[in-house]
Structure 1
Amino acid sequence: MKCFVGLDVSSTKLDVCIMSDDTELGVLFSASLGNDIAGASEIKKQVLELNDTYVFKRIVIGMEATSLYSFHPAMFFNDDSDLKKLNTEVMIEQPSKIKKYREAFEENKNDTIDAFYIADYFRIERFTRSYLKEEKYLALQHLTRTRLQLVEQLVHTKQHFIENIYYKCNTLSVELQNESLNTSVWSATIMTLMTEDYTLDELAETPLEDFAELIKKLGRGRFKAPDKLAKAIQAAIRGSYRLSLVQQDSVNIVLSLLAREIRSLEKMIKEIDQAIEDMVETLPEYQCLTSVPGIGKVFAAGIIAEIGQIERFKDHPQVAKYAGLNWKETQSGTTSSQNTSLAKRGNRYLRYYLVEAANSVRRHNVEYAKFYKKKKNEVPKHKHKRAIVLTARKLVRLVDVLLRNHQLYTPPRRFMEDN
């Protein structure tokens, strides 16, 4: 006889339903308990007592992947020494799969019913075996996921900064592009000029030589052509609309606040990058991935943290599906659609790090550069976006091989001979 424990997890509750594969016995135990150590211990107690009565051949404790809320219960049952002696398996399933299973029965929805159908879903044993990540991967994941959240926040803040720069000096971006200057509107020097105690009229009236010297000072001598940058900024100021005094004050305040936020976020990202590098060096897998030209420690850490033990996955298509780098098949009769969309239903963190790593690898690796170029030239629209996602899917195969075989990257012989 087998035992299946279904847990519906929320921030405060653990709704539990325990059943066996013998449908005549019905539900063996059902309750609503607190999502705390006492509630989890009570569930463990019930499982052990039922096992004394029925001597289960297999015990499966299943729950939906609710990230933060399911973390502690999953680790509690997975690490418990008494449950380990009974070969207890802790399974985490995608909520969408269990939702579709429950909807097939057209039942009302509440936590008690949800726990029942979670247990029943695992009872039919159509789920894919899952392995909980080891603690070292989870610790790294806290850092890499926080880094992505900071990066997304930085991108949003920079977009807001550009919007307000447009209010203040609407031709600045155009002038910088016209002069072919490798300087963006959120460079430290531009941000200082636009947010410190400099009015646009003062900057426009400053002699070009003095303005170039100011830029050279603010940029600490890093600009190759400070006079050219000074000329572009003054041209932008002269060609831009002027705001009223009241609007100038509001825009200046917003720009100053956003500039401080950008500097703060960039500093935090540097600090978390250092923490990631220090931690990932303790993992043997990072050497495998960083052996690929273009994959640094941060990208390697993001990929490793989300994949965890590569043995969790059967093969590279499963890894790709987990990342959401797979395409939906649309087929009816003898007709198959050529227009298929990216699933994007997997782990968005893993997808982000794989895509970013692929974008870096194709700049350093001849094989991936040729593949990217080929895919980019196949379509008239969304060239880069499509090509880089396909390149990321190709990278998944390499990542899977390196991690599964614990080996370093070696370029294909044909590319080595070309060089």
Structure 2
Amino acid sequence: MKCFVGLDVSSTKLDVCIMLSDTTTPFTASLPNDLVGAQEIKKQILELNDTYSFERIVIGMEATSLYSFHPAMFFHEDSDLKALMVEVMVEQPNKIKKYREAFEESKNDTIDAFYIADYFRAERFSPAFLKEEKYLALQHLTRTRLQLIEQLTRTKQHFIENIYYKCNTLSTEIKNESLTTSLWSSTIISLMTEDYTLDELATFPLNDLADFIQKLGRGRFKAPEKLAKAIQSAVRGSYRLPKLQQDSINVILGLLAREIRNLEKLIKDIDKAIEDMVEVIPEYQCLTSVPGVGKVYAAGIIAEIGQIDRFKDHPQVAKYAGLNWKQNQSGNTNSQNTELVKRGNRYLRYYLVEAANSVRRHDSEYQTFYKKKYHEVPKHQHKRAIVLTARKLVRLVDALLRNRQLYAPPRRLMEDR
């Protein structure tokens, strides 16, 4: 006899259905999502095991991020349940949803718990082992870092939108001068949020404005005169706002500039915390041995993968990250125009793509591969090429972590050097 425990988890409730392999349900209940509720479920499992002596016990639930974390870890770490070799599985919600919809149109928490238990009873799921504490601790940092990066991106976009109100030709003039300065660089932010009006910037002598820009940029600009010229051309060619509207834009730009600086500082702080914590996981050295992969990217990859033995091979890792493509085949026709799947671990996908983008700048093999994929299509060249490069990197990451070895460039590349 086997036992399958289905848990429908919410912020306050644990709806539970204990189902045996003969589909009988000796226990169903709605319990609080706290220590008391989890202990009651444990008690029921142990009592039923005394009666039936189960050959297998599976506790399954949907991945509901924050809400499923505590119950999953409680059942996974409990010493009495460990003695019974209890398996704790966390499955993708969309898979269980499709399974339930095949049998039942109605939806409520009790029905959901029943079909979660029945889904695991059918044993069509892939094992999803919970990670060790060190990976989870690192994951809190690396995921928060990505959230800060996304917040910074949104803030920069809002800053650019409001810069357009104030000086609508600025981005065009910077591009015309072939400058690499971005609109959210600290120098541009300072110029657009200082006490100078556009008319005052327009009347600055060019050399004085170039000196002022170099001072703001702490001497980092190679051609401050070109940037000064682009800014003055933009200022003179842009529309002027009424004073009241100009004042409101200035307030917004000042607030957004402050938020950009604060977020950039927070990201630096969390990068330092990640670099310190990743050192408790020795395998990070396997990934940082790859040119272009620093501690932060290595930490983001390791935190999401956890124990590499969870995965059978590198295609499974790629699928978990969402770096795989839909198959479109019918009869003898196999479509070559396929889309990237829209599922997968977005955090792992982000760190793999960012790492690949860095590696291709440092490693000639990856650079060649990227360029080849870049020139294969006329549209979305960088996006396609970098995703394919990330997929290539997955194979390397899998091999290094699985074999616990450092990266060694192919012999032919070493000979080229």
Q: How far apart in 2 are the matches of 1:358 and 1:224?
A: 29
Q: How far apart in 2 are the matches of 1:172 and 1:130?
A: 51
Runs of 4 or more above 3 Å deviation: none
CA RMSD of aligned residues (A): 1.1
1:33-70 deviation per Cα after TM superposition (whole angstroms, max 9, x unaligned): 00000000000000011111111111111111111110
1:364 aligned residue: 362
Match of 1:304 among 302, 305, 323: 302
Query: How far has the Cα of 1:22 moved from its partner?
Result: 2.3
1:281 aligned residue: 279
Query: How far has the Cα of 1:107 moved from its partner?
Result: 4.1
2:2 aligned residue: 2
Counterpart mapping for 1:21-32 below 5 A: 21-23=21-23, 26-32=24-30
TM-score (norm 2): 0.98
1:73 aligned residue: 71
Match of 1:95 among 64, 80, 93: 93
Query: How far has the Cα of 1:212 moved from its partner?
Result: 2.2
1:64 aligned residue: 62
Q: How far apart in 1 are the matches of 2:399 and 2:296?
A: 20
Q: 1:293 to 1:259 in 2, by over 3 A?
A: same
Residue type at the aligned position of 1:70: S
Counterpart mapping for 1:15-414 below 5 A: 15-23=15-23, 26-414=24-412
2:14 aligned residue: 14
Structure 2 SS opposite 1:125? coil
Structure 1 SS opposite 2:59? strand
Query: How far has the Cα of 1:217 moved from its partner?
Result: 2.0
Number of residue equivalences: 417
1:261-312 deviation per Cα after TM superposition (whole angstroms, max 9, x unaligned): 1111111111111111111122111100000001111111110011011111
Q: How far apart in 1 are the matches of 2:371 and 2:218?
A: 38
Q: How far apart in 2 are the matches of 1:361 and 1:8?
A: 42
Q: How far apart in 2 are the matches of 1:64 and 1:332?
A: 33
Q: Is the Cα–Cα contact under 8 Å of residues 325 and 344 in structure 1 kept in the other structure?
A: no
Residue type at the aligned position of 2:239: Y
Residue type at the aligned position of 1:81: S
Q: How far apart in 1 are the matches of 2:19 and 2:260?
A: 54
Query: How far has the Cα of 1:227 moved from its partner?
Result: 2.7
Q: Is the Cα–Cα contact under 8 Å of residues 64 and 70 in structure 1 kept in the other structure?
A: yes
Residue type at the aligned position of 1:53: T
Any stretches of 5+ residues in structure 2 without a counterpart? none
Structure 2 SS opposite 1:177? helix
Residue type at the aligned position of 1:331: Q
Q: How far apart in 2 are the matches of 1:394 and 1:300?
A: 16
Query: How far has the Cα of 1:348 moved from its partner?
Result: 0.6
Structure 1 SS opposite 2:337? coil
Any stretches of 5+ residues in structure 1 without a counterpart? none
Q: How far apart in 1 are the matches of 2:245 and 2:122?
A: 65
What percentage of residue pairs aligned between the two structures are identical? 81
Query: How far has the Cα of 1:184 moved from its partner?
Result: 1.6
